[in-house]
Amino acid sequence: MNAAATQVGPPDPQVRAEADARLAGLATPPGALGRLGELGAWVAATQGVVPPRELTDVRLVIFAGDHGVAAHGVSAYPPAITGAMVRTFVAGRAGVSALAAAHGVAVRVLDLGVDDDLEGVPDDVRRHKVRRGSGAIHLEDALTPEETRAALAAGERVAHEEIAAGAQLLLTGDMGIGNTTPAAALIAAGLGLPASEVTGRGTGVDDEGLRRKQEVIDQALRRAGDRVDDPVETLTALGSADLAATVGFLVAAARAGVPVLLDGVISVACALTADRLAPGAVAWFAAGHRSTEPAQSLALDKMGLEPLLDLGMRLGEGSGAVAAVPVVRSAVALIRDVALLAEIAP
């Protein structure tokens, strides 16, 4: 991954204009499709064709890893859950597995930094591993600079593999106890906000846990200092292997011109960081849902993204993105299949 920020061009503006014109000509009153209309036009522009093709190949990649902060009282659950959930994704029995099966979304889980060797789990899951666990970000860097580069490159490689295999729409998911802490820190760093504004309850910490989590984020931001001005340095200081890989994946998808549906606070923190690394990348992203985590809404506002769903979800795993796939498919069906008013008007 080239650390120097290089601009990413938007979905084809001419195709977008053609899609907007088709939308305006459909046998529906202007604006009657609401945001479904705009969403269909956006998909057409990302594909470079009007009407857009049906989204038959939709793929979710879940990046898993452990986080040193999890040993410091920032989560309602113990770190051992991370490895157990990786095995549950492999078995197809997690929350997101049920949604993905219902909506025809392929799921791939990758261990970038789980603090467990995950013996017996398929090699494909483990072959991108960068390290076991990431540093406790209030006390030390999450990663070495070499590990950050390796994780960014791994995410980039995975995006290219999925695109080469035919992905038309990509989704990102996360698994890692404690990961809402580095995600909130990345958002605080990217938006220049204090810990008090970005900290949420994650898996459901009590008031004492929330206070500890805010202190950890505050201490981490103070420790990182002005390194937060650089997105790669931010990942080294405040991120993790799984988050850095997600950033690499998002940058590569945007550069390759493949649209991405984002999930909750972890996915959105990585999208914000990807857009800092590759300005303009955000034009290839849509927001699947609004999470209850405050940092997610702050980052979505900053990126100008309006979530498709608002169901009070706070699961992660890519679940909010997968739940929004039928909405995206609905948008495509409308702009593809509805007659033009000119064809039917007497």
> What residues make contact with ligand RBZ under the rule CB under 6 A?
75-77, 81, 85, 174-181, 202-203, 315-317
> CA 192, CA 28: separation in Å to the nearest integer?
44
Residue 242 touches ligand NIO, criterion: CB under 6 A:
no
Residue 37 touches ligand NIO, criterion: CB under 6 A:
no
Q: Which of 291, 300, 324, 328 binds ligand NIO (CB under 6 A)?
A: 291
The angle at the Cα of 281, spanning 275 to 286, to the nearest 5 degrees, equals 100
| Contact partner, 75, from ligand NIO, ligand RBZ, none, Cβ < 5-8 Å per class | ligand RBZ
Alpha helices (H) along 167-264: 180-191, 195-198, 207-224, 231-238, 241-256
Active site residue 343: no
Range list of β-strands (E), the chain: 58-65, 105-113, 169-175, 260-262, 285-287
Stretch touching ligand NIO by CB under 6 A, among 4-12, 289-297, 300-308, 327-335:
289-297
Catalytic residue among 147, 233, 293, 317: 317
> CA 336, CA 36: separation in Å to the nearest integer?
12
> CA 299, CA 185: separation in Å to the nearest integer?
12
Residue 203 touches ligand NIO, criterion: CB under 6 A:
yes
Residue nearest to ligand RBZ (CB): 202
| Contact partner, 263, from ligand NIO, ligand RBZ, none, Cβ < 5-8 Å per class | ligand NIO
Phi and psi at 290, nearest 5°, equal -95, 120
> CA 284, CA 297: separation in Å to the nearest integer?
18
Residue nearest to ligand NIO (CB): 264
Q: Which of 316, 323, 324, 335 binds ligand NIO (CB under 6 A)?
A: 316
Contacts of residue 42, Cβ cutoff 8 Å, sequence gap at least 6: 11, 16, 19, 259, 286
| Contact partner, 182, from ligand RBZ, ligand NIO, none, Cβ < 5-8 Å per class | none
Residues in contact with ligand NIO, shown as a per-residue x/- string from 150 to 189 under the rule CB under 6 A: ------------------------------x---------
Residue 263 touches ligand NIO, criterion: CB under 6 A:
yes
b/e per residue 149-188 (b: at least 16 CB within 10 A): bbbbbbbbebbbebbeeebbbbbbbbbbbbbbbbbbbbbb
Q: Which of 266, 274, 303, 335 binds ligand NIO (CB under 6 A)?
A: 266
Structure tokens that stand for 273 in this block: 């960081």
We find the least distance from the C-beta atom of residue 115 to ligand RBZ, in angstroms, to be 13
We find the least distance from the C-beta atom of residue 138 to ligand RBZ, in angstroms, to be 14
Cβ atoms of residues 191 and 298 within 8 Å: yes
Residue 53 identity: R
Residue 288 touches ligand NIO, criterion: CB under 6 A:
no
| Contact partner, 137, from ligand NIO, ligand RBZ, none, Cβ < 5-8 Å per class | none
| Contact partner, 231, from ligand RBZ, ligand NIO, none, Cβ < 5-8 Å per class | none
Give the residues lining the site for ligand NIO (CB under 6 A). 180, 202-203, 263-266, 291, 293, 296, 314, 316
- What residues act catalytically? 317
